[in-house]
Structures are given as C-alpha cells and as structure tokens.
C-alpha cells in the first residue's frame, strides 16, 4: 500500500487519536537535505484550520522530543480534501463505488497509472473498473492513490461553506 514510514505512523497515530482525530496517513517526501512531513487527519464533521493548528502543535512537540527525522524538515498537518489520499485497504473499502487515481510501482498490464471506479477490496488487492475493464491491483504495487472528486463532491463542499 501507499508507502509510509511505519515508524512515524506508529509514533504519531497515538497522539492524533488521543486528541480525537483519525490519522489517515502520512507522506514523508525527501527534498535534498530537507524533507516535508505531511500528516493527514480527519474527524466526523470535517477538519477546520484550527484542528490542523492544534494537531500541528502536539506533533511538533512529539517530534522535537523523539527526533525521528534526520536533517531539517517542514511539518504540514492537512485535511484530506476532496481528492483525499487513500493509504489503506480499509480506506479503499470505505470509498467503494468512487473514482480513484492510482500510481503503481510496477506495471500492471502495461500501465503504471490507473483511473477508475473502486469495485472491490480483498485481503491484499483492490479491484477497479477502468474504462469498462476490470483490474485486480495488488496492494503492494500501489505507490499512491487519491479519490477523483466528481461534480456532486464540489456541490456538497460549496453548500457546506454557505451554511
């Protein structure tokens, strides 16, 4: 599945959970000597900027004490957004019937990128309908996955802001 540093996930998840949030996943992107640590959180009712700030303060303190990242890094705490990343098979299962864009580490039937409807989830694979063709995607081959928002998603977000 989505390549995550499990040591960082294990360190950050309990803190985020204790604060009443769900840790969806993390991205640790190396940029030369520096790196970016992006932490995705969610909760019932959605995430506001103040939630990101609160979690950021706690995670910063934790990372300062534990010092798990070599070199300098920038921490971002983010809501998943409409094009939410999918980190686990259970997240794929949660969004069955939705369209996802998946980048693979190895080619599957000559393709490294797939975009289609999530139609099933097994113990170690995701089934997708891509242009009317079924693909059984091994979980270990998935490097990155995101939902593709549709028009209804944008209308929902717009209505939510107007309330």
Q: Is residue 109 part of a domain?
A: yes
Asked if residue 89 has pLDDT above 80, the reply is yes
Domain-ending residue, one of 78, 102, 117: 78
Torsion sign, CA atoms 138, 143, 146, 148: negative
CATH number at residue 44: 3.30.300.70
On the CB side of 52, CA atoms within 13 Å amount to 14
Specify the pLDDT at position 136: 97
**pLDDT tens per residue across span 104-148:** 999 999 999 999 999 999 999 999 999 999 999 999 999 999 999
Q: Is residue 158 part of a domain?
A: no
Helix, coil or strand: residue 37: strand
Distance between CA 17 and CA 64 in Å, rounded? Answer: 19
What stretch of H or E contains 121?
A: strand 111-121
Helix, coil or strand: residue 162: helix
The whole-angstrom distance between residue 140's C-alpha and the CA centroid of its chain comes to 15
Domain-ending residue, one of 78, 112, 131: 78
State both tokens at 68.
């798990």
40 with 93, same domain: the answer is: no
50 with 102, same domain: the answer is: no
115 with 135, same domain: the answer is: yes
38 with 57, same domain: the answer is: yes
Print the domain residue range for 44.
Answer: 6-78
State both tokens at 78.
């983010």
Specify the pLDDT at position 153: 63
**pLDDT tens per residue across span 30-67:** 888 889 999 999 999 999 999 999 999 999 999 999 99
pTM equals: 0.86
136 with 99, same domain: the answer is: yes
Specify the pLDDT at position 158: 46
State both tokens at 143.
């490097």
110 with 60, same domain: the answer is: no
Q: Of the ranges 3-7, 10-14, 143-147, which one carries the lowest mean pLDDT score?
A: 3-7
Q: Is residue 116 part of a domain?
A: yes
Q: Which 8-state DSSP code applies to residue 9?
A: H
Domain-ending residue, one of 78, 113, 133: 78
67 with 96, same domain: the answer is: no
Tally the domains of the chain.
2
Q: Is residue 83 part of a domain?
A: no
């Amino acid at each position: 599945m989505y390549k995550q540093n499990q040591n960082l996930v294990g360190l950050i998840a309990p803190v985020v959970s204790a604060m009443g949030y769900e840790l969806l996943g993390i991205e640790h992107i190396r940029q030369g000597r520096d790196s970016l640590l992006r932490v995705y959180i969610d909760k019932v009712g959605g995430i506001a900027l103040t939630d990101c700030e609160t979690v950021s303060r706690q995670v910063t303190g934790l990372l300062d004490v534990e010092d798990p990242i070599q070199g300098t890094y920038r921490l971002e705490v983010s809501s998943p957004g409409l094009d939410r990343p999918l980190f686990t098979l259970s997240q794929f299962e949660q969004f069955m019937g939705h369209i996802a864009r998946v980048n693979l580490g190895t080619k599957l039937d000559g393709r490294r990128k797939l975009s289609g409807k999530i139609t099933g989830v097994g113990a170690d694979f995701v089934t997708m309908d891509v242009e009317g063709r079924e693909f059984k995607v091994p979980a270990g081959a998935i490097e990155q996955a995101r939902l593709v928002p549709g028009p209804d998603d944008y209308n929902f977000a717009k209505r939510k802001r107007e309330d």
